[in-house]
Structure 1
Amino acid sequence: MEESIELRLARLCKQCFGLEMLKLQEIPACGSDRKYYRLFMPAPAPKTIIGAWNTDLRENEAFVSFAQSFFSAGLAVPEIYAIAPEGDVYLQQDLGDQTLFSLLSAEWFPVKDKPAACFPQRLTSLYKKSLSQLLDMQVAGKNCIDYSKSTPSASFHKDAMHWDLNYFKYFFLRLLRIPFDEQALENDFRSLVDFLQTAPSDYFLFRDFQSANIMILENEPYFIDFQGGRRGLLHYDPASLLYDAKSYLPKNIRIELLEYYVSLLESKTDYPAEDFLRFFKAAVVLRLMQALAAFGFRGVVEKKPGFRESIPPALDLIKELMQDWDLPLTLPEIRDCFVRMLAMTELRSFQ
């Protein structure tokens, strides 16, 4: 009979720490198929550790490899204690239950719609700390990461960008019956990808840098869920964080945080601010289309909670982007699709 996940985690704890696990609690899953457990241990082991189970062995290998490299470089990631020989269970540092998203939920969401609501200064500070740590990770990844472990590809190359754009085409536009001219849309996809491919792309790209993947421990950010990381452009990750539909960041805060990241870029690297900003909005367009596809697939097709509800705030970000459109390329069919999306009142009904 196949051994249970719980028994395998207990055995791995015994092998790693030489101690018997006291008990374990399963942590509720979010959007992935991975399972996480909080394991309670006796001294001198850490009081609690996190046990993870995932049948995607390449994904596990990537996460463990990246985490070990970043931890050795002194960056804000969990320590990896052990991984089973089979590669499907591993143990990592417990960073608690508080995420940047949970703090947004507690401190910002209840007041965000009130007249004269002000975004909490504490959250602004945590966002800035997160952006600073992100840039350190992006730059360190140029030298300390083994990109042969990346999955499904070692870099965010042209094909990978096209995968995201086709994801948007099929699991948002077509799924929700938003009309489009297929050839014109493909032409815009090629223009967008070709433009982004001219940006420097030898940095670590987190891939899913959002508030739910930023743990807050003793008022400091730590990063998790970077198993999709690969070599890529700098712009995508700050775009992911600042244009995260689930966070409801006010526009003025988003501008302040972008200016802060650019100031860090100028002080920590030789990347000119003007060059960075030239590509940034194009990366925002790419990320928002990828996110909308995920909301369509996860929320409408798979009916997982929390995804359909993110479509209306994502449309608000699209509307804002259209009002301030200053990309150095026109993308007429993408813009027309955005106009059609904004005109469809039924998309606003997802709650």
Structure 2
Amino acid sequence: MISQDSLINFALESLGLPDSTEADIAPLSKRGSGRTFFRFRWSPQDSAIIIHYDPERIENTYYADIAVFLTKRLIPVPRIIRHDPSKCIILMEDMGNIDLWSYRQKDWEIKRTLYQKTLVAAYRLHNIQEDLSCSDIRLMEGFNAALYEWEHKYFLEHFVKGICNIDIEPKMMAAIKNELHQLVKRLMKAPPCLVHRDLQSQNVMIMDEKPFFIDFQGMRTGCAFYDLASLINDPYVYFSDEEIEELLSFYYVLSGAALDWDAFRSFFWEASIQRLMQALGAYGFLSLKLGLVEFLRHIPGGQNNIIRASTYVQNIPMLSQLLLECKGKTETISP
């Protein structure tokens, strides 16, 4: 582990500040993915964020270059001040402590405005149209059938079996796998674009009433509906059916979608099933395998959202039955 003195020296040098500058450094809550975060402050008004990352998580080595790529294309992300790959340190703009999640209890009029601004930024990301093979940017492998299927296994292993302690009998498992295979085939028909991959409320910082994306190291090509599901069917924030429809309609009009509205909605709810399986699998893995039991409290929101989504998706009767069985098994779970 690198010393805090080394991090301070790195920041002072990067900012062109004298060694005699009175500065302090404070660790921030851990965001995971093999990274540690610090707030470096050299005056009451001036601060920056330091990230020290584990390069074994290959996506961590992509973060700074992706940030520069997005900044050049006017996608709102923190500005990279300096990146030293040899030391695995990034110094970047401090976006403060207020994220989109912080507004979860606010009146709909306030939330709606911020979410619409976030959807505008998401659309700009999804609408980047260039040949990425000709750029220097490195990305994780794009969404494909194998990645979607990996998320299914993640859900079945760490949530259905790990959290709910359900052993699915072979005939039912075969039926569920067939339903999920068909779901993947439908999602693969959605137009491909760049996606954030984890566009939930805690990965959108709010500064001066404007959204800024963070934690985009997993950005890749995929389906825009996966991002929409991550944001609008976020287990951390409750939306009524009417609010979901309003936000989804806002993006639909904004994007000038070539799809008709019914097809657009179908893609959204199917992507919501996919995304929420990934999220529930993650809650199981993080709580049971890594001991991060605080993630257990997000299970009810994730389950409620995926059960609601299942009512909008046809041809998944066995999966829907499993989701209801899981709900019954987790009613007594608490962190």
The answer to whether the superposition gives a TM-score over 0.5 is yes
Output the amino acid matched with 2:116. K
Letter in 2 for 1:61: T
Q: Which moved more, 1:283-292 or 1:34-43?
A: 34-43
Distance in 2 between residues matched to 1:333 and 1:148, nearest whole Å = 41
Pick one of 265, 279, 298 that aligns with 2:267. 279
Deviation at 1:222, TM superposition (A): 0.5
Mapped contact 2:195–2:219 kept (Cα < 8 A): yes
Q: Measure how far apart 1:326 and its partner are.
A: 3.8
* Pair 1:172 & 2:163 matched: no
Percent identity over paired residues: 25
TM-score by length of 2: 0.89
Distance 1:192 1:218, change over 3 A: same
The answer for the alignment partner of 2:48 in structure 1 is: 49
In structure 1, which of residues 144, 150, 158 is the aligned counterpart of residue 139 of structure 2?
150
The count of residues paired between Structure 1 and Structure 2 equals: 326
Task: Give unpaired runs (5+ residues) of structure 2.
Answer: none
Deviation of 1:205 (Å): 1.1
Contact 2:270 2:313 in 1 (8 A): no
Amino acid paired to 1:98: I
SS of alignment partner, residue 91 of structure 1: strand
> 1:115-137 CA distances to partner (integer Å, 9 max, x unpaired)?
xxxx4311111011101111111
1:25-79 Cα offsets, whole Å, 9 max, x none, are 1112144431111111369xx8111000111362233211111011111221011
Aligned match of 1:350? 334
- Could you say which residue in structure 2 is the equivalent of 1:94? 94
C-alpha distance 42-341 of structure 1, shift in aligned 2 (>3 A): closer
Going from structure 1 to structure 2, the CA distance change for 1:137 and 1:170 (only over 3 Å counts) comes to same
Equivalence for 1:115: none
| Aligned residues of 2:266 and 2:312 also touching (Cα < 8 A) | no
Write the distance in 2 (CA, Å) between the matches of 1:14 and 1:122.
39
With normalisation by structure 1, the TM-score equals: 0.85
Letter aligned with residue 342 of structure 1 = K
User: 1:187-219 CA deviation, whole Å, 9 max, x = no partner?
Assistant: 222211122112111x11111000000100011
2:153 partner SS: helix
Q: Deviations over 1:263-290 (max 9, x none)?
A: 1111xx6565454333221101101111
User: Following the alignment from structure 2 to structure 1, what is the Cα–Cα distance between the partners of residues 97 and 249?
Assistant: 30
The AA in structure 2 aligned to 1:185 is: I
- Contact 2:152–2:277 under 8 Å retained in 1: yes
Choose which of 199, 203, 222 in structure 1 pairs with 2:212.
222
Partner of 2:326: 341
Closer, same or farther: CA 270–28 of 1 in aligned 2, 3 Å? same
Q: Distance in 2 between matches of 1:250 and 1:348?
A: 24
Which residue number corresponds to residue 14 of structure 2? 16
Q: Hey, what does 1:112 align to over in structure 2?
A: none
Contact map agreement 2:117 2:210 (CA 8 A) in 1: yes
Question: Aligned in 2, Cα 1:348/1:192: closer, same or farther, shift over 3 Å?
Answer: farther
1:59 is aligned to 2:41: no
Cα distance change of structure 1 residues 90 and 280 upon mapping to structure 2, 3 Å threshold: same
CA distance in structure 1 between the aligned counterparts of 2:196 and 2:129, rounded to whole angstroms = 10
Instruction: Please identify, of 5-14 and 61-70, the stretch whose mean Cα deviation from structure 2 is larger.
Output: 5-14
For the Cα contact (< 8 Å) 1:215–1:224, is it kept in 2?
yes
Counterpart of 2:128 in structure 1: which amino acid? Answer: A
Distance 1:85 1:282, change over 3 A: closer
- Rounded Cα–Cα distance in structure 2 between residues aligned with 1:141 and 1:284: 25
Distance 1:38 1:144 in 2: 33
Distance 1:235 1:254, change over 3 A: same
Residue identity in the other structure for 1:66? I
Unaligned ranges ≥5, structure 1: 109-118
What does residue range 133-148 of structure 1 map to in structure 2 within 5 Å?
Answer: 133-140=121-128, 142=130, 146=135
Q: Which one of the candidate residues 184, 194, 204 is aligned to 1:193?
A: 184
- Against the structure 1 CA distance between its residues 124 and 52, is the aligned structure 2 distance closer, same or farther, given a 3 Å change threshold? same
Q: Report the equivalent of 2:195.
A: 205
* Structure 1 residue 144 displacement after superposition: 6.3
Q: How much does 1:156 deviate?
A: 0.7
Note closer, same or farther for the CA distance 1:34–1:270 as it changes in structure 2 (3 Å cut). Answer: same
Alpha carbons of 1:222 and 1:61: their partners in 2 closer, same or farther (altered >3 Å)? Answer: same
Tell me if structure 1 keeps the 8 A contact 2:195–2:221.
yes
Structure 1 stretch 221-230 or stretch 270-279: which is displaced more?
A: 270-279
